[in-house]
Amino acid sequence: ARIDFCTKSPFVSLLAGNPALSSVCTPETLSSRSYDLAVDLQNNRRSRALVHGLKCGIVRRYRKRNWKKLLLVQFKINLYGDRYQSVVDRYREALDGIMSPGNAPCGLFPSSSDREFAAAITGAETPVLALCFGANHFTKRYPEARFAEVITRVCSELELRVLLLGGKEDADGAERIIASLPEAFRGKVIAVAGRTTLMQSAALLERAELVLTNDTGLMHMASAFGKRLLVLFGSSAREFGFLPWGTQFELFETEGLSCRPCSHIGRDACPKGHFRCMNDIGADRIAARIIELFKSTRS
């Protein structure tokens, strides 16, 4: 079968080289093609219009179940219980009866030049801890000062290289984190936020032994490589399904807050002003777990 994947232009590179795909296209080029089956994983106004223009015989769509999100965010009524699904598995439901059962491998495929770039950055001898410290919304970002505390504690115990990964909007934050570190540890930290392509970031994540991350796209990229993750959830809630998939992870979150979750996508400020969902996650606890994991792999 011919399988084409449609995505926005900035994300085309993430799917480049995937052997399961015939091609990767954008919404601007999709209408010139014809298909027997369309699978709509966005199920929003724009994606429905795109699919309608294709005039496919068969259309499958991802079921969002937005009403459950609304009840949890607005009224704190949790209908998910303990049986919440990964959004990846919910995507797969759109392919029931079409895709073979079982867990198909998930992956990213950096080019040889991307991997050479990453190798030159990290070196070959020192273990790598990757920090994905950014996120699109404030309530998904662990405070920069706390990341600096984690780095300071970890670097005082371990010999490793720390990568600060993120987009252009995170570049200044990376510099602030480094500037707040004791001078003795600054040389152990490499700020690549805003200085890499998506696939260069992917190649860097591929070289990491452990990833500490907010709820962000880089978290899912690290999952695609099967990396062990320590995940920081502020306003995010596991019930929404946006957890790492197909890899080992540990979740750091503040449970029992009556205001959480305050949004299903994140906010630009804490509605209550205290930001306890992130502020109550102790940097010492995170650092202790990082140290424990690194030492256990070398014992």
DSSP string computed for 205-221: HHT-SEEEEESSHHHHH
State the sign of the Cα–Cα–Cα–Cα dihedral 164, 289, 295, 106: negative
Residue 180 predicted with pLDDT over 90: yes
Residue 175 has a pLDDT of: 98
What confidence category does residue 111 fall into, taking pLDDT thresholds of 50, 70 and 90?
Answer: very high
**pTM attached to this predicted model:** 0.95
Domains and CATH numbers, the chain: 1-61 (no CATH), 112-296 (3.40.50.2000)
Mean predicted confidence (pLDDT) in 199-213:
98
Tokens found for residue 236? 């995010």
Q: Is the pLDDT of residue 44 over 70?
A: yes
pLDDT tens-digit series, residues 116-159: 999 999 998 899 999 999 999 999 999 999 999 999 999 999 99
Q: Which one, of 187, 177, 224, lies nearest residue 203 by Cα?
A: 224
Q: What is the pLDDT of residue 174?
A: 99
**pLDDT value at position 223?**
96
Q: What is the mean pLDDT of residues 158-168?
A: 98
Give 258-287 pLDDT, tens digit per residue: 999 999 999 999 999 999 999 999 999 999
What pLDDT shows up at residue 30? 86
Per-residue pLDDT averaged across 85-97, rounded? 89
Per-residue burial over 249-265, b if 16 or more Cβ lie within 10 Å, else e, is beebbeeeeeebbbbbb
Beta-carbon contacts of residue 147 (< 8 Å; ≥ 6 apart): 131, 133, 177, 283
Encode pLDDT of 227-262 as tens digits: 999 999 999 999 999 999 999 999 999 999 999 999
CB 252 within 8 A of CB 287: no
Q: How confident is the model at residue 105 (pLDDT cuts 50, 70, 90)?
A: low
d(CA 157, CA 29): 52
**Is there a contact between 32 and 217 (Cβ–Cβ < 8 Å)?**
no
Q: Predicted confidence band at 103 (pLDDT cuts at 50, 70, 90)?
A: low
